[in-house]
Amino acid sequence: MTFQTKTITVPVFAPKPITAEPVPQNPSLAPNGRSNMHNDAYMSDTYNWAGPVGGTLSVGFKMLLGECACLTFDSTGRIVTVVSSGKSEGSEGTSRTLLVLDPDSLDILASMNLPSGGGGSTGFGGGGYICLNDKDQAIIPTANQQLWIVDVLPGAEGLSLSRFYDLSGSISDVSASVQSTVPDWSGRLWWVTDTGVVGYTDPASGMSWTIKLPSPQQIGNSFAVDETGGVFIASNYAMYRFDIDATGQNPKITWSYSYDRGTREKPGQQNFGTGTTPTLVGKGFCGITDNADPQMHVIVYRREKDFINNRIVCQIPVFPPGYSDTENSLIGYTGNFIVENNYGYNAAVTHQTTRVVPGVARVRYDNQPCPGETVWASNQVVVPSVVSKLSLATGLIYTYTLEIEKGGHIWSITAIDAETGSVAFSVQAGSGKVFDNHYSSVFISPNGTLYVPTVLGIVSLHTV
């Protein structure tokens, strides 16, 4: 497929660098910013390096016949991703293929077919979330309830399956989908299923230990880990911290707090409950959204193992009553969370008449005397379903926006000033269904190129 490009000139934004507590490097993951959909073990959705700030920009699009929801970057800067497309032969679910892409041309340098079948062959599980470890290995939950460890080899050597772990005996439900896996600081491979199983696999022995959340709880997103051994998981009913128990083997619930899950799965969501992967900030905070009616809240918790007071720091209402939800993780940095409104998104009808409710907001949770407040709330942009990102180097939030006009559905890469909430610049990516990102994320490579996967390819943006 050809790589289509065009050049556009937009206003230049004067960077406003943000000083924030650094996210510690998980020694079991690739360097922060390169390792997973949410950038690091804290799932901060922040970058220390710069993205585009305007001026003369090159916008590109490469058709890949599928969606590469999660992009990671190996030690040479190549993109490592899984493309999900069509129905695989003999399966009711989608086929998934591990790819290595050239970061400039987006040409496929290497590929490997992944298993299909089972509950994980549909939806976002079974390869939607992947991560890259410290050894340039892709860690992939597959659709047949395995964890694959694949070597991303240098040069033209391609991909090689190093090892796989069969989780089916630990899950005991053939319909369950392994949603995500993230290694902790000790190298344990933690994983979760959509049916509420939380477990980890010892990479040396291959043995797994699990715990099942009380029925009917489900897990629809990824999770975060920190340097103290905490594993932070949100179900569709409650927020949890897990640790290893006194035996040194079994996962245990250290604390849990239920939240207001509302009365329905709102339009724009894929689950009846929170739509967020937990986001960790600093030494002691964790944030998610609830799904309350009539108005969603950003909830901030103290995340320490031992905390004698109420763990809930604040619950801050956001977006219009009756029209608020999100299916994407919060952006988190010292004292702040950034949240977007996805209310109304539906891939099946968004390209017909459906209107997504606009909204991006920044909230603070450590200001005194008020424990939490909205700093700004913008209704300038419509963000249907993308995982937005923040560059601490530029002070810009990078998101993917939609405008419905008589001429069609226009998708754009939009940069928002994190200090004020005003739009710094916006660059049209394309129009029509092919440019819908459908819950994938914005990514910024270490060289500053920005990428947005779509349902059938990848949009890129870089300074000329």
Nearest to 192 by CA among 152, 225, 149, 164: 225
- In the predicted model, is pLDDT for residue 220 greater than 70? yes
What pLDDT sits at residue 254?
97
Three-state DSSP state, 397: strand
pLDDT, tens digit, 9 for 90 and up, residues 142-190: 999 999 999 999 988 999 999 999 999 999 898 899 999 999 999 999 9
Task: Please give the residue range of the domain that contains residue 221.
Answer: 3-463
Three-state DSSP state, 168: helix
- In the predicted model, is pLDDT for residue 17 greater than 50? yes
CATH number of the domain bearing residue 53: 2.130.10.10
Q: What is the mean pLDDT of residues 259-267?
A: 94
Q: What is the largest CA-CA distance in the chain?
A: 64
Q: Distance between terminal CA atoms of the chain?
A: 23
pLDDT grade for 124, boundaries at 50, 70 and 90: low
Residue whose structure tokens are 């905490």: 230
pLDDT grade for 90, boundaries at 50, 70 and 90: very low
Q: What are phi and psi of 171, to 5 degrees?
A: -90, -40
What pLDDT sits at residue 264?
93
What pLDDT sits at residue 121?
36
- In the predicted model, is pLDDT for residue 120 greater than 60? no
Strands 331-333 and 336-340: antiparallel
- In the predicted model, is pLDDT for residue 348 greater than 70? no
Residue 189 near residue 200, CB atoms below 8 Å: yes
Q: What is the mean pLDDT of residues 117-144?
A: 80
Which amino acid is residue 380, in one-letter code? Q
Q: What is the mean pLDDT of residues 74-80?
A: 97
Which amino acid is residue 173, in one-letter code? D
Number of domains observed in the structure of the chain? 1
pTM of the complete model beyond 0.75: yes
What pLDDT sits at residue 91?
45
Residue 28 token pair = 């079991």
pLDDT, tens digit, 9 for 90 and up, residues 378-393: 999 999 999 999 999 9
Q: In this structure, how many other beta carbons lie within 10 angstroms of the beta carbon of residue 287? A: 28
How are strands ordered across the β-sheet holding 94-101? Answer: 71-73, 79-87, 94-101, 108-113
- In the predicted model, is pLDDT for residue 10 greater than 50? yes
From CA 427, how far away is CA 398, in angstroms rounded? 11
What pLDDT sits at residue 117?
61
From CA 192, how far away is CA 43, in angstroms rounded? 16
Q: What are phi and psi of 298, to 5 degrees?
A: -85, 120
Contacts of residue 338, Cβ cutoff 8 Å, sequence gap at least 6 = 330, 331, 332, 360, 361, 362, 363, 388, 390, 397, 418
DSSP characters for 24-79? Answer: PPPTTBSSTTSSBTTSSTT---EESS----SEEEEEEEEE-SSB---EEE-TTS-E
Residue 90 near residue 149, CB atoms below 8 Å: no
